Chains A and B, each alone.
Chain A
């Protein structure tokens, strides 16, 4: 008698679907919220550009909450294929079962599908993105013999960090020109301070010092650092400080060591730290 294979739970590929009930904290830096809403209303796909840790993912969560749509997040990696997005047949005891991939699931559910760091995915994934991202708004599921038409509630969004220097990780024109692109930068000083305070419950003096520290490291971008300290790193440092770690130790671990391995650069960042606190 053949051994029975336990049926695969259909949920296994859909674990990233989330309905966000409570408002994720987000501070608008510019007109990104109105832009996004307008793009959503016009069923245009959205590309979020910006350095790491500046709030792209948080923004999309906030928008999903605001628009009251479920959010499907796919973190792209270099082995992510088109089948991983669309879906595939699986076998249960002597029968085949089609399981939707996250993208197909999002289309069916009229969700927001967010492809995080899309340049990391394999090139063939763009094939399924393209017809979905222009005015056809369809997802061909070749294997399943189905042509999914996206409902107006569905939105495709992806993120991309233009700061990478690798020539192999560039977004093709044919892909990027299908999207409404929203540029994200680090928030200005006052806003960044507020974000740190809200996220970490740190005092305003600490937050102000952290923002100044970040500014100094951002000044070194291109002068030995690939990126300056992101807002996310600042929040990390602030959280450690709130827990009673000394500012110097917290910033060294959460910021300096996270930015660089170069001993000279580490020393320079440590000097910044001892200067602003």
Chain B
């Protein structure tokens, strides 16, 4: 049975309460109530629900929404209404009240998609599109929304919703085409020419840019057809008819952006870009993003090649002209399929490490080749000298409770003795119900987690060759009988016993408490710890949790949250709740200290698991960048040598660049959505130790 409609008076009362702060004697809820009154109850409920949600961000936005809602219901279908609200709120978050409320008022711009079409929204398809683009590009490209689709070659901007075609699937297809096209712009050299300058020579640069964009999409379609025929088929279908014969030159396998520019010069004013379902824009901002990257990558390539040369020489002699010894032979034809190149050092081919390959591919995509000056006389950054005075009181502070640790200086290739002072501190427990709230929030997941962990624990094993047991071990009995026959002694261990699989495992979780975790990362970390503790209690593995932070080498701090010998009790729960972001991430000392703690535990497998949100960093510039990474790497190598297995769970999207170097290719995992961290950490632990 459906609930009765709200009367105008009831609506008035509710609206007056919900929108109170932006109402006045001249602006009352009465007109809003009278317009909402005729709507069906379901829609009334929907509107009231959203007013409440939006009012939490901004009351004026909620008012504007209420005013526009009845008109929206008259014109849009439910999916479109969802998309309309989300877009308005996104715009509000990004650009403020004025632009946000404009979206609520401009329902007309949404009308063309209203007539019985099923809209595809960015929100619902972003995850799949992201994977799709990652598969195409071989690296993660960011996706975001914008009014018109374009790319700065690092982020692909797509519309918030597409409703050009009748069905959801077809509209999603347009998303797919747009994403492919934007990827192809970067991949097949649309930005190899200065497009802004080229369009600027025409009296209507906008019109020129639109036509150029169309010509480029024809050229790219031909390219795409060779690699991704499925997509090209869809493009051709949506375009309708055959390609204008005047543009046939763009079909050539080696057509470049310069061919498009020539055609632009020929047809500007004669031909205009048709209104296609998949139109992309070319924007001037792209240039600056691309230039910044080109510059950055030139430096990175120089540094990476120098490192490669050094490794190659294995420290025999310092060679000043390292770069000149390299040659890169890019394949003459930049094929559709891949970017082929060969790296040579002193005339002999060398296998480039993953990072160098990625850099060279990226540069090849940007520039179409490796310019000569990349390998000549590029100046390496001068060797920076230690900013801190190393003779200063390194040994002085030998107070109680201070541990001194060495730190690895990669430039000198040896340790700085007793360089870091580290203290173990207690976290001040927080009262409150954080743990209970978390458990309530994730109740279904917690019980599922417990079940999976029970399965892991409950793996019954039949132990053979037992002196005491509940069944006869026939294999052993036969062997023993055989032994007896051949004159050996009869063994006494002839029984089998079912037993829980002994997990001789100790895990220490090292939690990043640096200032950068402030806010929701910290919340996610704490929630993750709660879930983890719940799961580990079921499993019975020994575990400890420590937080780390620091401010310069003199103040490295380790926070005790749960020691190995402590039970998971209220005190521990309160400490988890009390984890607050502190300062920086000087990881080396923390790893060395916690390795010591872990090694004091008697277990066959010892795991050091880091929960982190970024690379090692400290207040002083010195620890930032390579120095910090190399020290951390050294600390991890020491841990590894002492029998500890380090593993890292990170939420840093840049992690690929440095974590493989730190932990090795398989000993780390990226959780790319912070919201999923609480659910993922326990799961990763389970996989790691299964």
Q: Which residues of A contact B (CB under 8 A)?
A: 83, 88-91, 95-96, 143, 162-168, 189, 209, 212, 215-217, 219-220, 222-224, 264-265, 267-268, 271-277
Contacts and interface: CB of A to CB of B under 8 A. Distances in A.
A166 B666 CA distance: 9
A89 B478 contact: yes
A277 to B, nearest CB: 5
A-B interface, 8 closest residue pairs, ranked by CB to CB distance from nearest: A89-B482, A216-B135, A268-B131, A96-B482, A275-B228, A219-B138, A275-B230, A167-B645
Given A91-B478, A168-B689, A219-B136, A277 B229 contact: yes
Contacts of A216: 135-136
A166 B486 contact: no
A90 B482 CA distance: 7
18 contacts: A88-B478, A89-B482, A91-B482, A91-B485, A166-B689, A166-B690, A189-B337, A209-B229, A220-B131, A222-B656, A223-B670, A264-B131, A267-B128, A268-B128, A276-B229, A276-B230, A277-B229, A277-B230
A244 B128 CA distance: 29
Given A209-B229, A212-B227, A215-B338, 4 more contacts: A89-B478, A162-B666, A167-B605, A275-B176
Contact of B483 (A89, A90, A215, A220): A89
Nearest to A271: B132
Contacts of A165: 666-667, 669, 687-688
B607 interface: yes
B605 A271 contact: no
A89 B476 CA distance: 10
B670 A222 contact: yes
B481 interface: yes
Interface in B143-163: none
Q: Tell me the dominant secondary structure on chain B's binding face.
A: helix
B481 A91 contact: yes
B interface, how many residues as a size bin? 35 or more
Contacts of B137: 219
Nearest to B176: A271
A276 B482 contact: no
A165 to B, nearest CB: 5
Nearest to A189: B337
Contacts of A163: 666
Interface of B: 127-128, 131-132, 134-140, 176, 180, 227-231, 337-338, 475, 478-479, 481-483, 485-486, 605, 607, 645, 647, 656, 666-667, 669-670, 672, 687-690
A267 B128 CA distance: 7
B509 to A, nearest CB: 15
Nearest to A216: B135
Given A189-B337, A219-B138, A220-B134, A167 B647 contact: yes
Contacts of A276: 227-230
B605 to A, nearest CB: 6
Contacts of B485: 91, 95-96
Given A165-B666, A166-B690, A212-B227, A90 B135 contact: no
A273 B132 CA distance: 11
A92 B481 CA distance: 11
B686 to A, nearest CB: 10
A212 B337 contact: yes
Nearest to A144: B486
Residue among B180, B475, B656 with the highest chain A CB neighbour number at 10 A: B475
A91 B475 CA distance: 11
Contacts of B647: 167
Contacts of B478: 88-91
B116 to A, nearest CB: 25
B337 to A, nearest CB: 6
A219 B656 CA distance: 13
Contact of B135 (A189, A264, A268): A268
